[in-house]
Amino acid sequence: MSPSDEPADLSMLEFFHSELVPAVASLQTGLTALLDGRESASEAAPSLVRSAGSIKAAAHIAGLAGTSALARAMEDVLEAARRDGRLPGRNADEALVAATAALVRLSRREAKDIPQAAAAEAEGLADLAMVLSRAAREPSDSIPGAEGGASLPSATTPGSASEPASASAPEPAPAQGPSRTSGSTSGSTSGPPPEPAAAECHADLSMLDLFRMELETNAAVLDAGLVALEADQRPELVEPLMRAAHSVKGAARIVGLPLAVELAHAMEDLLEACRQGRTHLETGHIDLLLAGNDVFSRLAGRPTGEIPADLAAMAGRIAELQGLLHQGLTESGPPPAAGVAAPTASDGQSAPAGPSPPPEQAPPATTGRSVPAAPAARPGPAEAGTPTGDSLVRISAANLNRFMGLAGECLVEARSLASMNGIFQRLKAGQDALSGVLAALREAVTAGEGAQNRPMPSGPGETVGCGERLAQAGRLLAGSREVLIQGMERFDLFSRRLENLSDRLYNEVVDSRMRRFSDGLHGFPRMVRDLARELGKRVSFTVAGQATKVDREILERLEAPLTHLLRNALDHGLEAPEERARLGKPETGVLTLSARHYAGMLAITVADDGRGLDPERIRDKVLERGLASPEMAAALSDAELMDFLFLPGFSTAGKVTEISGRGVGLDVVHSMVRDVGGQVRAESRPGQGMTFFLRLPLTLSVVRTLLVDVSGEAYAMPLTRIDRIVSLDKEEISELEGRQFCVFEGDTIGLVPAWRILGARGGQEAAAPAGNAGNRPGIAVVVISDRLNRYGMVVEDFLGERDLVVKPLDPRLGKVPCVSAASVMEDGSPVLILDVDDMVRAVDNLLSRGRLDRVGEASTRQSGRTKRILVVDDSLTVRETQRRLLSNRGYEVETAVDGMDGLNALRGHDFDLAVTDVDMPRMTGIELVRQIRADARLAGLPVMIVSYKDREEDRMQGLHAGADYYLSKGSFQDESLLSAVADLIGEPEA
């Protein structure tokens, strides 16, 4: 250290530190506003100049010459920006960001450690000062400083761990490839493209999480914007993409990732050439830019600590992309193809997990048709942050300010309760005085001196008559009443104000969970573009309602269903251009995705103008798979036929491709919609197109419900799962073969007592369906349904609609039959929220065993007369076949549609044997057997597995899980099943 660099004593260093911390904070705030475009250079520069000047003076006093020189160079650049209204020179914004980052690192040190830290960064500080000094002497850049946008680090308390000294220092000379501000192409293309300095990556690990967030945001902007550029390359559309690439470059420079800096710089150069009209971006150019953005998307999806290694593993790919991007600056057409492979596991890192894997796309060749892949993945919640189980939610500063304001108002209102204490004290004093007067009157009456004019002792030397005492009591009572009325009015006003505040606070909290619909669509335009090219189709893809607010959890779940619907529309719905021309349609198909709020729900529509689906083709497929009898299939309406599309494995596709045709996609759509309490339906116009309608709740944290009374208990049913509520007269109820039903909207609706499904009133007799115990006229019925069945749940009464905050059940309870969640009423009483799908399955089980109670019939089970068997299989055909075989032999048989349904039935009823399949949704047969053996009550229950899997290892797996018998469906015979059942539990009893 030279004499000029020798620092002053500790007191001067502490003075410098006290000046540095607030000045750095001011620099961060001002630069962020400037580079994000929220403030112009002339607006932001004055405070920035003052901050840099303060650091310069304090560093000079403390003897930190290098730091003082850097602050002076920053001051010169900012003074030029204030004078000219824009940042001067080239890369001034990046150098200011890097210099601020260096000052942030110093501010994190203890005062006594600052000289050593400054000495360790001396070379980097000098380089930055030189770059800034050169920029201050150059004319203003052609790109306003507001187009920056590199994110800034946040200063924390001193004593933080140190960062590498050279983490953010830019190169002293602008030798990083072509200049992004050059007005000619000569400076941009002369010489070979620079090699990325993979070995020089010294990442600032403390700031990688901020960098990852910056990547996530800007990669999404690039992904959507680049696809749009293919059709429209106006400068105002290119400019946001330049800002996004520039922000990635600046953020990568701050954290010390030169590979990412060089790639973003090359992308920015090509985009600038497009903006200036020097290059027209062809499809090949767009493919290259998207390939570069795929690198950023991949990094955004990696765990923070793996970003440097993953980036280093892609060094070769990045170098090739840089070369092709620089070639694109001088070529009028698409750049030539090169063997640039997409990032795969062979690069040294595994691809990120998530619902949509990152693309593995090469730049298209000059001949032939490229096969692009799915859109780049957005980081999932499990991999996009630190290793913690808590999910993170971004919230805007405006929302946070509103939270603070409402919280402050609630605090003021809460404290106003104290002022009411005086009113209640006055009321209490009045009541005490009145009590004394009444006591004196009582004593007088007791002593036989109740005459009104008889004198009574009032105090020492005083006598008061009873009449005066009564008048006094009247006055005290009137005063107490006045105080009480005053208190009630104030309390009522307080209650209304507090309720209003609570509603506003609650709405603000709910709003903080909401995101724009467009936030979940970043990969879709890219996916549609790439898939359409692969299929050789022309598609115009539009999204309506992008600003529609959606609950963030629902938005995250929407990605997979919407992906399936869009891919199906592209593969099966839209025709090839030649076919569309032959049919008289425009060669470019139309695919529309829209979202809006409708009747308190989120309504999403996916529509195309393709070939649609012929209902007769679906009817034939239903008959082919044995899902309905010929008579039933012939009677099905078009809407009912469309519902079959959502069954697992159901597909009308003539062939299975990598894109679709397996019958899985629409089942995924239905499962997601059902899980969140929504509805989905399809509508086809043969030859004109197909439309899918999704209705989803606006938020999962609150559900709008109908409260019903079942045996004196309140239960809540989600309104979205209720078809209708009706009030029936007894004359409208018919009976056939012991089962009650009514006719509603032309449909026959079976009536089921709700208490029978919920077990709310065991064996009691009902005087009416479900025992309408209240005084309401008629019989209250709630109509519910699934895709194939419709039932009427008979309840005692309707208690009204309520918005309930959903509280999940304790996981230790497992799946409670017919219950999905719980909530708390206004009076604090708990209420269960019913699972409508579970209730429909429970009714099916009752009907299948013929045990539906009639009106006025006690639910008394004659146990021991017949042995009971539970058949668990997801195939309707197999389930019904086994049920008939066993019922004909004399056994009492119930059925369940999957392992979870079967486990619920076993826990709620007594059986002598369980017969189960292996491969089933929600819970497999193997897991069901394990659950049975783990349950103390069910551990001794005989279990038989009947499966198509007939390999020895499959049989051993089932037996090891705890099954008593393993029978193959491949060798399934009537007698083999009956013999096996008899071996396990004997013949049915008489």
Residue 343 C-alpha from the chain's centroid: 27
**Distance (Å, rounded) from C-alpha 960 to C-alpha 844?**
32
Nearest to 354 by CA among 381, 380, 375: 380
Range picked from 176-180, 351-355, 582-586, 645-649 for highest mean pLDDT:
582-586
pLDDT classification of 417: cutoffs 50, 70, 90: low
- Percent of the chain as helix, strand, coil, to the nearest 5: 50, 15, 35
pLDDT of residue 697: 85
Give me the CATH number covering residue 882.
3.40.50.2300
pLDDT of residue 381: 36
pLDDT top residue among 332 and 361: 332
pLDDT of residue 707: 94
**Cβ-based neighbour number of residue 140 at 10 Å:** 19
**Distance (Å, rounded) from C-alpha 956 to C-alpha 941?**
19
Q: Which of 695, 717, 744 is the last residue of a domain?
A: 695
Strand residue runs (E) in 505-620? 514-516, 538-544, 549-551, 588-598, 601-608
Give me the CATH number covering residue 4.
1.20.120.160
Tell me, yes or no, whether 910 and 772 share the same domain: no
Long-range contacts of 405-413 (CB under 8 A, 24+ apart): 406/501, 406/504, 406/505, 406/508, 407/505, 409/501, 410/498, 410/501, 410/502, 410/505, 413/494, 413/497, 413/498, 413/501
- Decide if 101 is inside a domain: yes
Q: Which of 322, 342, 362 is the last residue of a domain?
A: 342
Backbone angles phi and psi of 750, in degrees to 5? -70, 135
514-518-523-527 Cα dihedral, nearest 10 degrees: 130
pLDDT classification of 143: cutoffs 50, 70, 90: very low
Range picked from 83-92, 348-357, 771-780 for highest mean pLDDT:
83-92
Tell me, yes or no, whether 556 and 690 share the same domain: yes
Tell me, yes or no, whether 561 and 672 share the same domain: yes
pLDDT of residue 200: 43
- Decide if 174 is inside a domain: no
**Distance (Å, rounded) from C-alpha 533 to C-alpha 701?**
41
Tell me, yes or no, whether 78 and 51 share the same domain: yes
pLDDT classification of 798: cutoffs 50, 70, 90: very high
List Cα–Cα distances, 197 to 101, 187, 188, 338, 509, in angstroms: 21, 21, 20, 22, 47
Q: Which of 631, 660, 695 is the last residue of a domain?
A: 695
Backbone angles phi and psi of 142, in degrees to 5? -75, -15
Nearest to 487 by CA among 537, 534, 428, 443: 428
Could you tell me the two tokens for 714? 């309140």
User: Mind listing the pLDDT tens digit for each residue in 777-789?
Assistant: 788 999 998 766 7
In the block, tokens 């007894």 appear at 730
Tell me, yes or no, whether 646 and 708 share the same domain: no
Give me the CATH number covering residue 669.
3.30.565.10
Percentage of the chain exceeding pLDDT 70: 74
Long-range contacts of 658-663 (CB under 8 A, 24+ apart): 659/531, 659/535, 659/567, 659/570, 659/571, 660/564, 660/567, 660/568, 660/571, 660/572, 661/571, 661/572
Please return the burial class of 809, using the count of CB atoms within 10 Å of its CB with bins 0-12, 13-18 and 19+.
middle
pLDDT top residue among 968 and 179: 968
Non-local CB neighbours of 64 within 8 Å, separated by 6+ positions: 5, 7, 16, 114, 115, 118
User: Mind listing the pLDDT tens digit for each residue in 179-206?
Assistant: 333 333 333 333 444 444 433 445 555 5
- Decide if 103 is inside a domain: yes
**Distance (Å, rounded) from C-alpha 611 to C-alpha 568?**
12
Tell me, yes or no, whether 672 and 545 share the same domain: yes
pLDDT classification of 354: cutoffs 50, 70, 90: very low
pLDDT of residue 177: 35
**Distance (Å, rounded) from C-alpha 361 to C-alpha 372?**
5
User: Mind listing the pLDDT tens digit for each residue in 517-555?
Assistant: 988 887 888 889 889 988 999 999 999 998 898 888 888
* Residue 927 · residue 967 · CB < 8 Å: no
| 967 beta partners | 946
Range picked from 46-55, 211-220, 477-486 for highest mean pLDDT:
46-55
Q: What is the mean pLDDT of residues 134-159?
A: 48
* Residue 530 · residue 375 · CB < 8 Å: yes
- Decide if 373 is inside a domain: no
* Residue 789 · residue 844 · CB < 8 Å: yes
Tell me, yes or no, whether 491 and 534 share the same domain: no
Q: Read off the amino acid at residue 672.
A: M
Could you tell me the two tokens for 820? 């999905």
694-695-700-704 Cα dihedral, nearest 10 degrees: -170
pLDDT of residue 665: 63
Non-local CB neighbours of 411 within 8 Å, separated by 6+ positions: none
pLDDT(341) > 60:
no
Q: What is the mean pLDDT of residues 388-394?
A: 53
List Cα–Cα distances, 361 to 291, 293, 347, in angstroms: 7, 11, 14
pLDDT classification of 490: cutoffs 50, 70, 90: confident
Is the dihedral angle over the CA atoms 534, 535, 540, 541 positive or is it negative?
negative
* Residue 508 · residue 406 · CB < 8 Å: yes
User: Mind listing the pLDDT tens digit for each residue in 255-278?
Assistant: 778 888 889 888 988 898 888 888
pLDDT of residue 345: 36
Q: What is the mean pLDDT of residues 32-37?
A: 74
Tell me, yes or no, whether 16 and 145 share the same domain: yes
Tell me, yes or no, whether 556 and 463 share the same domain: no
* Residue 608 · residue 591 · CB < 8 Å: yes
Non-local CB neighbours of 501 within 8 Å, separated by 6+ positions: 406, 409, 410, 413
Tell me, yes or no, whether 139 and 257 share the same domain: no
- Going by their DSSP bridges, the two strands 549-551 and 830-834 should be labelled as unpaired
Question: Within 230-314, where are the H helices?
Answer: 235-255, 258-275, 283-300, 307-313
- Going by their DSSP bridges, the two strands 538-544 and 588-598 should be labelled as parallel
* Residue 749 · residue 767 · CB < 8 Å: no
| 747 beta partners | 744
pLDDT of residue 206: 55
Q: Domain total for the chain?
A: 6
The rounded mean pLDDT for the chain is: 75
Q: How many CA atoms lie within 13 A of 943 on its CB side?
A: 29
**Distance (Å, rounded) from C-alpha 373 to C-alpha 368?**
16
pLDDT of residue 601: 83
Instruction: Kindly report the three-state secondary structure assignment for every residue of 12-49.
Output: HHHHHHHHHHHHHHHHHHHHHHHHCCCCCHHHHHHHHH
Render 60-113 in DSSP notation, one character per residue: HHTT-HHHHHHHHHHHHHHHHHHHHSS-BSSSHHHHHHHHHHHHHHHHTS-GGG
Could you tell me the two tokens for 570? 């592209």
Could you tell me the two tokens for 498? 């507090």
- Decide if 735 is inside a domain: yes
**Distance (Å, rounded) from C-alpha 670 to C-alpha 618?**
18
**Distance (Å, rounded) from C-alpha 521 to C-alpha 559?**
8
Could you tell me the two tokens for 193? 């493209």
* Residue 145 · residue 34 · CB < 8 Å: yes
**Distance (Å, rounded) from C-alpha 3 to C-alpha 12?**
16
pLDDT(138) > 80:
no
Could you tell me the two tokens for 210? 């901020």
Buried residues in 187-225 as b, exposed as e (16+ CB within 10 A): ebbeeebbebebeebbbbbbbbbbbbbbbbbbbbbbbbb
User: Mind listing the pLDDT tens digit for each residue in 893-917?
Assistant: 999 988 888 898 898 888 889 999 9
Q: What is the mean pLDDT of residues 372-390?
A: 39
pLDDT(598) > 80:
yes
Give me the CATH number covering residue 825.
2.40.50.180
- Decide if 615 is inside a domain: yes
Residue 326's domain spans which residues? 184-342
pLDDT(86) > 90:
no
**Distance (Å, rounded) from C-alpha 129 to C-alpha 126?**
5
User: Mind listing the pLDDT tens digit for each residue in 825-843?
Assistant: 877 788 999 988 888 888 8
Global pTM? Answer: 0.53
Question: Within 354-419, where are the H helices?
Answer: 397-415
pLDDT of residue 319: 87
pLDDT classification of 404: cutoffs 50, 70, 90: low
Tell me, yes or no, whether 561 and 497 share the same domain: no
* Residue 404 · residue 509 · CB < 8 Å: no
- Decide if 596 is inside a domain: yes
Q: Read off the amino acid at residue 383.
A: E
Non-local CB neighbours of 412 within 8 Å, separated by 6+ positions: none
User: Mind listing the pLDDT tens digit for each residue in 277-327?
Assistant: 888 888 888 888 988 988 988 888 888 778 888 888 888 888 888 888 888
**Distance (Å, rounded) from C-alpha 981 to C-alpha 344?**
53
Tell me, yes or no, whether 528 and 656 share the same domain: yes
pLDDT(852) > 60:
no
- Decide if 437 is inside a domain: yes
